[in-house]
């Protein structure tokens, strides 16, 4: 979802996009101690964008900058949904979090999740979530459903050996499945030990009522905004991404993409 130089053309040509990225860069420097713009502009050979502690702030910044670009063109969202770390950008765009709060949150989230590098894997499997849940019976905390993005597939995450066993069984049954190019088991039990530290570090977070309809991918339902407190963001890091549920809720409310 991220690549070296992904900002370059719009940064050079669109003032609103550039101003938003520069604002994010200043805040990342303050909270993380490194330059977002330097990381985005680094050549592919030396890029750190595949490290989640860099990727997460970079994704937030690009998402916020894209929203500002659309606003400058008088294209405004009717409602907002964010997937995983994208929910931080969604919360900011909806007016729930200030830009500084969003950057502080994403820097902390990325830094904590970086610790889990190499501890697990993720895979996309071509079976519905209920069938995937049956496959994981008996796995305990070793494997979990990390995301449900559509009705026909699921993303699994957890212990690499346990995941390999499940994929072997599915491939033997002719089910399409593939490992994802990540070195973390995001949205799995491996995130649970980070909960309390994230919540403590986010003390003082002051979520506001959303100025736009906001659909949560933690709950798969609309949220008012004020409940997006530190405990909510710990759930966002650890729990399943209910993207399909959030999209269904938005469609049921009359919104279209």
Cα separation, 225 vs 233, in Å, equals 12
Cα separation, 19 vs 11, in Å, equals 8
Q: Contact at 8 Å (CB) between 109 and 237?
A: yes
pLDDT for the residue 122: 98
* Residue 237: closest CA among 182, 198, 203, 200: 198
pLDDT for the residue 230: 98
pLDDT for the residue 67: 97
* Radius of gyration of the chain from its Cα atoms, rounded to whole angstroms: 18
Instruction: State both tokens at 31.
Output: 């909270």
Handedness of CA 165, 127, 248, 93 (dihedral sign): positive
pTM of the model: 0.94
Cα separation, 12 vs 181, in Å, equals 30
For the chain, domains (ranges, CATH) are 8-116+191-238 (3.40.366.10), 121-182 (3.30.70.250)
b/e code 13-31 from CB counts within 10 Å (16+ = b): ebebbbebbebbbbbbeeb
Q: Contact at 8 Å (CB) between 92 and 64?
A: yes
b/e code 170-205 from CB counts within 10 Å (16+ = b): beeeeeebeeeebebbbbbbbbeebbeebbebbeeb
pLDDT for the residue 2: 60
Q: pLDDT by residue for the chain (257 residues), tens digit each?
A: 665 666 778 878 899 999 999 999 999 999 999 999 999 988 888 889 889 999 999 999 999 999 999 999 999 999 999 999 999 999 999 999 999 999 999 999 999 999 999 999 999 999 999 999 999 998 999 999 999 999 999 999 999 999 999 999 999 999 999 999 999 999 999 999 999 999 999 999 999 999 999 999 999 999 999 999 999 999 999 999 999 999 999 999 999 97
Please write the tens of the pLDDT for every residue from 115-149.
999 999 999 999 999 999 999 998 999 999 999 99
Write the secondary structure of the chain as one string of H (helix), E (strand) and C (coil): CCCCCCCHHHHHHCHHHHHHHHHHHHHHHHHHCCCHHHHHHCCHHHCCCCCHHHHHHHHHHHHHHHHHHHHHCCCCCCCEECCCCHHHHHHHHCCCCCHHHHHHHHHHHHHHHHCCCCCCEEEEECCCHHHHHHHCCCCHHHEEEEEEEECCEEEEEECHHHHHHHHHHHHHCCCCEEECCCCCCCCCHHHHHHHHHHHHHCCCCCCCCCCCCEECCCCCCEECCCCCCHHHHHHHHHCCECHHHHHHHHHHCCCCC
């Amino acid at each position: 979802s991220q690549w070296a130089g992904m900002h370059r053309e719009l940064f050079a040509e669109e003032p609103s996009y550039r101003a938003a990225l520069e604002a994010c860069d200043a805040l990342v420097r303050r909270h993380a101690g490194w330059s977002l713009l330097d990381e985005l502009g680094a050549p592919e050979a030396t890029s750190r964008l595949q490290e989640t502690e860099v990727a997460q702030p970079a994704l937030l910044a690009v998402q916020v900058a894209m929203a500002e670009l659309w606003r400058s063109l008088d294209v405004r969202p009717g409602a907002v949904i964010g997937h995983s770390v994208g929910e931080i950008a969604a919360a900011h765009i909806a007016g729930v979090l200030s830009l500084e709060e969003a950057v502080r949150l994403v820097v902390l989230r990325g830094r904590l999740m970086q610790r889990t590098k190499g501890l697990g894997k993720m895979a996309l499997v071509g079976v519905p979530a209920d069938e995937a849940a049956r496959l994981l019976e008996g796995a305990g905390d070793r494997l979990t459903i990390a995301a449900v993005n559509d009705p026909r597939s699921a993303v699994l995450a957890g212990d690499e050996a346990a995941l390999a066993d499940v994929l072997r069984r599915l491939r033997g049954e002719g089910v399409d499945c593939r490992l994802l190019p990540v070195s973390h088991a995001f949205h799995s039990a491996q995130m649970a030990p980070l909960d309390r530290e994230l919540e403590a570090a986010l003390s003082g977070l002051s979520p506001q009522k959303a100025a736009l309809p906001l659909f949560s991918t933690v709950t798969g339902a609309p949220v008012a905004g004020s409940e997006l407190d530190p405990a909510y963001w710990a759930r966002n890091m650890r729990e399943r991404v209910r993207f399909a549920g959030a999209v269904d809720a938005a469609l049921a409310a009359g919104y279209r993409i």
